Structure 1
Amino acid sequence: MIILLNISNEERIQAVRHFNRFITRHIGALREGLLHSPYSLTESRILFEIANNDNPTASNLTQQMGLDAGYLSRILAQFEEKGLLYKERSLKDARQRILKLTAEGVKAYAKLNERSNIEIAELLRELSDSEQQQLINAMKTVEGLISKNESFTFSGPYFLRQHEPGDMGWVVHKHGILYSQEYGWDESFEALVSQIVADFINNYNPKRERCWIAEMNGEIVGSIFVVEGSADTAKLRLLIVDPKARGVGLGSQLVEECINFSRRAGYKKLVLWTNSILKEARHIYQKKGFILVDEEKHHSFGQDLVGETWELLL
């Protein structure tokens, strides 16, 4: 047992890290599959939360579990592909999508839950009644001390998902409204966005192309697209973040999802076209490693602009 009396701050830090290593080893959190299952600790926890919460949504899980929105989105997509999960529109709020386990998902969760109970029972069996009570009291103390200061969050308050019917209307509308309000662009820009999303839907190749829709509290607040340019080149298109969702890293996360997807899809280069006036977006592209390779003056959308082409080698 470690007694923390007159020891340095560094020693206290190391004591907490030592406990973390101890407990993760004993609960098997470092195994490739938790409880001898095909699921990681995070995946198992997500199954648990969906099974044991009333009407859980992806945004709820993002905040409750402190998960990166993109990471959670990928796990949920994998669960859907494996037939463990489906989404159902909320009767109270049509913008919300409730996460539900399928019969196969319920079976997977039940097996994990049973194995977990057996492992904990075996651990407790090695302790006397008084030692078990000591352990429970100590765990309550740890939980109470840490949770009383949980006024912070570990992740952005948004959730990323793939596109669904009705989303493209939002993309076109939001681009038309925001670019008119913020940059004075006319309706010809809205027409361009309409053409881009129409081409995406009509020629959609899920293995090579993707749209991400960002939600916050059940409301759409952002989007981005990857479309196929050629066998080796992908195009990043239509990055937009609603003003109410700015400042939480959503734009950067959306671009990161595009980069990761393009690499997984086998592209060698990701390119985009933007305008010099869009400084916030340009800043994100620079931070992600894109390089400006061409610029040209043009008159479009009722404005004199400088178009820019940016590239990222993957």
Structure 2
Amino acid sequence: MVDHTGQIADIRAFNRFYTKVIGLLEEGMHESPFTLAEARIVYELGKRGAATVASELARDLSMDPGQLSRLVRRLDSYGLLSMTPVRGDKRANNMALTPRGEAVYQGFDGASNAAVRALIAPLDELRRRDLVDSMARIRNLLAAPEPSEPLILRPHRIGELGWLIHRQGLLYHLEQGWNGEFEALIARLYSDYEAAPANPPKSLWVAEQGGEIAGSVYIIPAAEEAAGTAQLRMLYVEPAFRGCGIGKRLVEEAVRFSRASGYKRIILWTQDSLVSARRIYQGAGFTLEREELHHSFGADLNGQYWSLEL
């Protein structure tokens, strides 16, 4: 059994640190008479800008309905809320902010912006971007991406080839037990991609969702095959984004590009231990041509060669 004691201690230490940094231990939110929970209700209603049923708000905030009811009564006593019965349901009320409540919301919003501005003021632009990227990563690891966040397939940017090498080298080590030979191999593969001429056509897609890299894949002419053959390489999806169809979408885009570019065939090399990837290839119409046992990356593997006639 894996001992997570150290990881738990690190997470708790971060929670204590961040609680102090953003002032959650203060008696009132932004020097107001309102608690954090009360301020969050005001903020949510202000952000929505429309009447909201209490049960919907409780669900969205993961708050006990009884607790929410008590907080709402207190906010109502301050004259911050307007309550109107829901037509056809005497037990439910629509909640909205009164003009006084809207003023409190605007005050909270401005104070929060000022607090964050002061927090990041000592940081240069690079460290600010690192901070925001790290926060997005925490959010995506602990919660599924918002359904409203679109999936974007785009070209890679400066610095991302190195990031892709780092992430895939690390992920395959943790998930498959592969050693540094694999990292060295993919470093060469990405270098080959970057050095390849524009014709015959090549393309690399980075899947992005919510500002985070969710996965990638690329197409390059197959060097040792007949003209008109493309090679699909380095399909991967970040663990936090798996199960959302991103791998399928990447492969579909690679096939579409290959067909539109005049390729007649696509080949790829994978390992039978990569079950999810093989399912994606099968779903896209690839067929297994041959298998080959080999020892690579510190492991005994069964390499598979797949192809798709376009």
TM-score, length of structure 2 as denominator length: 0.51
* Structure 1 counterpart of 2:309, one-letter code: L
Runs of 4+ residues over 2 Å off in structure 1: 89-96, 155-158
Q: For 1:252, what is the secondary structure of its paired residue?
A: helix
Query: Are 2:244 and 1:248 equivalent residues in the alignment?
Result: yes
- Name the structure 2 match of 1:178: 171
Q: Find the aligned partners of 1:179 and 1:206 in 2 and give their Cα distance.
A: 31
Choose which of 228, 232, 240 in structure 1 pairs with 2:221.
228
**CA contact under 8 A between 1:156 and 1:248: conserved in structure 2?**
no
Q: Find the aligned partners of 2:214 and 2:202 in 1 and give their Cα distance.
A: 21
Is the radius of gyration larger for structure 1 or structure 2?
A: 2
Higher relative CO (Cα under 8 Å, sequence separation at least 6) belongs to: 1
Q: For 1:164, what is the secondary structure of its paired residue?
A: coil
Q: 1:239 to 1:277 in 2, by over 3 A?
A: same
The structural deviation recorded for 1:204 is 3.9
**CA contact under 8 A between 1:297 and 1:306: conserved in structure 2?**
yes
- Name the structure 2 match of 1:218: 211
The alignment of Structure 1 onto Structure 2 pairs a total of residues equal to 170
Choose which of 172, 181, 185 in structure 2 pairs with 1:188.
181
* Structure 1 counterpart of 2:296, one-letter code: S
Q: Find the aligned partners of 1:159 and 1:296 in 2 and give their Cα distance.
A: 36
* Structure 2 counterpart of 1:255, one-letter code: V
Choose which of 140, 145, 158 in structure 1 pairs with 2:151.
158
Q: 1:168 to 1:196 in 2, by over 3 A?
A: same
Q: For 1:293, what is the secondary structure of its paired residue?
A: strand
Q: Find the aligned partners of 1:286 and 1:162 in 2 and give their Cα distance.
A: 25
The percent of aligned pairs where both chains have the same amino acid is: 44
Deviation track 1:130-149 (CA, whole Å, cap 9, x = no partner) reads xxxxxxxxxxxxxxxxxxxx
The structural deviation recorded for 1:207 is 5.8
C-alpha root-mean-square deviation of aligned residues, in Å? 2.3
Q: For 1:247, what is the secondary structure of its paired residue?
A: coil
Choose which of 254, 269, 287 in structure 2 pairs with 1:258.
254
- Name the structure 1 match of 2:160: 167
**CA contact under 8 A between 2:202 and 2:219: conserved in structure 1?**
yes
- Name the structure 1 match of 2:297: 301
Q: Find the aligned partners of 1:91 and 1:189 in 2 and give their Cα distance.
A: 30
Q: 1:91 to 1:189 in 2, by over 3 A?
A: closer
Deviation track 1:150-207 (CA, whole Å, cap 9, x = no partner) reads xx95x87421101121110111001110000000000000000000000111114166
Q: Find the aligned partners of 2:245 and 2:199 in 1 and give their Cα distance.
A: 26
Query: Are 2:202 and 1:209 equivalent residues in the alignment?
Result: yes
**CA contact under 8 A between 2:149 and 2:210: conserved in structure 1?**
no
- Name the structure 2 match of 1:274: 270
Deviation track 1:253-282 (CA, whole Å, cap 9, x = no partner) reads 000010000001100001100000000000
Q: Find the aligned partners of 2:181 and 2:154 in 1 and give their Cα distance.
A: 28
Q: For 1:267, what is the secondary structure of its paired residue?
A: coil
**CA contact under 8 A between 1:156 and 1:249: conserved in structure 2?**
no
User: 5+ unaligned residues in a row in structure 1: which ranges?
Assistant: 1-88, 97-151
**CA contact under 8 A between 2:201 and 2:221: conserved in structure 1?**
yes
User: 5+ unaligned residues in a row in structure 2: which ranges?
Assistant: 1-124, 134-145
Q: For 2:232, what is the secondary structure of its paired residue?
A: strand
* Structure 2 counterpart of 1:252, one-letter code: K
**CA contact under 8 A between 2:200 and 2:221: conserved in structure 1?**
no
Q: Find the aligned partners of 1:267 and 1:158 in 2 and give their Cα distance.
A: 26
Q: 1:172 to 1:313 in 2, by over 3 A?
A: same
Correspondences of 1:105-184 after superposition (within 5 Å): 153=147, 157-184=150-177
